[in-house]
Amino acid sequence: MSDLTRLGAAELAEKLAGGEVTSVDVTRAHLERIGEVDSRLHAFLHVGEESAMATAADVDARRAAGEDVPTLAGVPVAVKDLINTTDQPTTAGSRMLEGWVPPYDATVVARLRAAGLPILGKTNLDEFAMGSSNEHSAYGPTRNPWDTDRIPGGSSGGSAAAVASHEAPLALGTDTGGSIRQPGAMTGVVGMKPTYGGVSRYGVVAMASSLDQVGPMARSVLDAALLHEVVAGHDPLDSTSIDAPVPDVVAAARRGDVSGLKIGIVRELGGEGFQPGVQAAFDGAVEQLAQAGAEVVEVACPSFRHGIAAYYLVMPSEVSSNLARFDAMRYGLRVSPEGVPDPSAEQVMSASRDAGFGDEVKRRIVLGTYALSSGYYDAYYGSAQKVRTLIARDFAAAFEQVDVLVSPTAPTTAWRLGEKSDDPLAMYLEDVCTIPANLAGVPGLSLPVGLADDTGLPVGVQFLAPALADDRVYNVAAALERLVAAPVLEEVR
């Protein structure tokens, strides 16, 4: 492994600014790292070597000319293949969009380009971001660099694996029910879901529009905050974008002080059903926070117990609506039904959707269509939205008592490939800790806190804060990061 790929984004930015290295050297080192290990991991669906090197050369030329450039200019980044890029395909991990190159950049990609970050490539994901293991990609699973027989988490498993394996110092993922935080925990990297509306969704292939959020993944809290700062902020092209100042997440990540802070352990997110090694690592991390001067108390959020049930009605309903646009008429896969000489539009649509969508996507479309159907809307979707309101109220009540909430990020460490493939419910239960934040729109960050003593695999702790208080989770996470022995992957196993 190159010395340059061992460095985090903040360290690379410092060396680039000081003229110790060039972006061309840094970008080439990461592309070479991808060439060395990605055949074993399959973190990338597409590598954009030419465009990444062109950006790197441009940044170097601007620096050499004495031009002021943004903090992260020249630091490479990977982008989840759910986010539109005009110079690389955007497939959403699906045959439905195989080879599709969008005519416009997502707003977050435009901001990466403006900030001078070379885009290394597009990372693998569960198809249309539907999954917790990255096994639902139409192009094959990504593997966990800590143990290539195991899953990296999902749906942003490709981004997580790329960062964990030093293929990229930074990556963008998306989080609908935990899809940044859970793979972050499974691979030992930092994963942040910002406040809903804090980062633009324009140009991001929609899964569930009231839940989806783009966010950063990195190997340190400061690195994640630096990327967060680049992509966050109001976007008039996104109707759900919040027109409010971005919290100073970078200053919070540099501060890292919990003295006098009140932290609440969520009673409903832990204990029975959680892997002993995960619970032990979590308990140890909380004890460290207490010793650092935080007041730790237990907080009840009773409606969180219904989070999974509500989520798996709201999310599939929105999936059913959003994926209706893939009709084989305007773009994407188009298949003619066999044995039909002059097929109707409906027949072409049916054949194309059958061939283009995988089993998990079809499952969620069917669930959502049923939940929205006449006679069942109020009983299912309507009731789930009421539970969502109760969860938001639980958060509001909790934040009247404490500054930040804490829980394990996931109930288990990474499981073996195929272990839960035939049991969708077991897979869905892996999101029990992360889903409430999406339902309420609050920010959440997963921090790696070591290895489970029963599996030797990474464990994550999740911090949650009120909406628009993203800086709080960065502050607490940075404080804990200094106290725990974060897992460091020396080589892909």
The radius of gyration of the chain from alpha carbons, rounded to an integer in Å, stands at 21
Q: Is 336 a catalytic residue?
A: no
201 C-beta neighbours (distance < 10 Å), count = 24
Catalytic residue among 94, 133, 137, 179: 179
77 C-beta neighbours (distance < 10 Å), count = 30
Q: What is the DSSP letter of 299?
A: E
Total residue count of the chain as it appears in this document: 493
Question: Residue 90 CA to chain centroid, in angstroms?
Answer: 17
CA distance 305 to 433: 10
Q: Which residue has the tokens 């990061």?
A: 481
Yes or no: say if 169 and 8 are a contact pair by the CB < 8 Å rule: yes
Name which of 490, 403, 478 is nearest 190 in CA terms: 478
- Beta-sheet pairing, 444-451 with 458-464: antiparallel
Close Cβ partners of 390 (under 8 Å, ≥ 6 residues apart): 303, 306
Catalytic residue among 155, 200, 303, 446: 155
Catalytic residue among 80, 122, 193, 420: 80
Yes or no: say if 20 and 63 are a contact pair by the CB < 8 Å rule: no
Q: Is 80 a catalytic residue?
A: yes
- Residues forming beta bridges with residue 147, ordered by sequence position: 144
Distances (CA, A) of 408 to 76, 118, 298: 30, 33, 14
- Beta-sheet pairing, 404-408 with 295-299: unpaired
Q: Is 383 a catalytic residue?
A: no
Name which of 163, 193, 253 is nearest 480 in CA terms: 253
Distances (CA, A) of 161 to 88, 169, 394: 20, 11, 34
Annotated catalytic residues are 80, 155, 179
